[in-house]
Chains A and B, each alone.
Chain A
């Protein structure tokens, strides 16, 4: 049969708008979470991380929110730019610093 690639959900936003990318994680014991950005032809690039003793952390134009009750993580990008177009992955880890990655979300920014 024909091979089917991993289907990535896509978020399409207008340049200048805010973007929100969501992620559900699976392991309630996970205590560290990271967001990565992957552009075509490149490896994942670290954006921002958060530990489980926090529920919000801000960086430059990015904010990560953590809701441990429902095991949900989100990445907010303010004033989205064309250079933000990429695939975004969340990852979770606990002991041993081994990361488990989500399937990714493709962000497309319309000029």
Chain B
């Protein structure tokens, strides 16, 4: 079983829909991250959670709402998204937020906004 699992792998939604992306890590890590990867920009950090507490919100619009119910699960709730939000959304985890901890990524959810 892979270390970081993301579901669904693909999602198509309209601008008025509400959906959620799910991430689960099986590595025993305490920090989890959401990233956005689009065709136009390098990988961008969106949110950071450490021990289930949000510690970073990287100027992300409120139409993206993260949730971390426990150290193994991370969600990204989506509502009233825009076409420019179409991208690959990647989840990552690391042992902690201490310096020098490699982040391990899932395979992402490919999101398309109609």
A36 surroundings in chain B (CB, below 8 A): 105
> What is the total of A-B residue contacts with beta carbons within 8 Å?
70
A102 touches B100 (CB 8 A): no
Q: Which residues of B contact A5 (CB under 8 A)?
A: 39-40
Is the Cβ of B99 less than 8 Å from the Cβ of A95?
yes
> In the complex, what's the smallest C-beta–C-beta distance from B31 to chain A, in angstroms?
7
| B6: chain A residues within 8 A (beta carbon) | 43
Interface residues on chain B, number (Cβ under 8 Å): 29
- Complex Cα spacing A34 to B94, Å: 13
Q: Is the CB of B103 within 8 A of A99?
A: yes
A18 within 8 A of B: no
Note all chain B residues with C-beta closer than 8 A to A4: 40
Q: Is the CB of A104 within 8 A of B42?
A: yes
* Contact status A34-B102, CB under 8 Å: yes
Segment of A9-17, A45-53, A56-64, A69-77 in the binding face: A45-53
Say whether, besides A43-B108, A96-B56, A49 and B45 are in contact (CB < 8 Å). Answer: no
Closest Cβ of chain A: how far from B40's Cβ, in Å? 6
- Chain B residues numbered 55-114 whose CB sits less than 8 Å from any CB in chain A: 55-56, 90, 92, 94, 96-108
Residues of A within 8 A of B56 (CB): 96, 98
Additional 6 contacts, C-beta under 8 A, given A34-B103, A42-B108 = A5-B39, A44-B43, A46-B102, A91-B43, A93-B99, A97-B101
List the 10 shortest-distance A-B pairs measured between CB atoms, nearest first. A43-B105, A5-B39, A101-B43, A32-B100, A43-B107, A97-B97, A44-B105, A101-B42, A103-B42, A42-B107
* B residues with CB within 8 A of A: 4, 6, 31, 38-43, 45, 48, 55-56, 90, 92, 94, 96-108
